[in-house]
Structure 1
Amino acid sequence: MKAQLTVVTLITSDVPGMARFYREALGFTIAVDTEHYAELENEGTRFSLSSRELMAEQSGGHPSYVIPQSGQAVELCFRLESPQSVRSAYTHLLSCGAGAVKEPAVMPWGHTTAFFADPEGNIHTIYVE
Structure 2
Amino acid sequence: MEGVVGLVTILTGDLEPMKAFYSDVLGFEVIEDLGNYVEFRNPGVRFAICTREVMYEATGQESYREERGSHAFEIAFPVGDPDDVDRVYDEVVAGGATPIKGPEMMPWGRKTAFIADPDGNIHEIYSYKPEDFS
Report the TM-score when normalising by structure 1.
0.94
How many residues matched? 128
Q: Distance in 1 between matches of 2:52 and 2:121?
A: 15
Tell me which residue corresponds to 1:92: 91
Tell me which residue corresponds to 2:117: 118
Where in structure 2 are the equivalents of 1:42-57 lying within 5 Å?
42-57=42-57
Tell me which residue corresponds to 1:31: 31
1:2 matches 2:9: no
Structure 1 stretches of 4+ with a deviation exceeding 6 A read none
Q: How far apart are 1:74 and its partner, in Å?
A: 0.6
Q: Deviations over 1:78-128 (max 9, x none)?
A: 111121221111111111221111100111111010011101000000101
Report the RMSD for the aligned CA atoms in angstroms.
1.0
Tell me which residue corresponds to 1:128: 127
Tell me which residue corresponds to 1:66: 65
**Equivalent pair of 1:115/1:125 in contact (CA under 8 Å):** yes
Amino acid at match of 1:91: D
Structure 1: gaps of 5 or more residues: none
Percent identity over the alignment is 40
Q: What secondary structure, in the 3-state scheme, does the structure 2 residue paired with 1:9 have?
A: strand
Report the TM-score when normalising by structure 2.
0.91
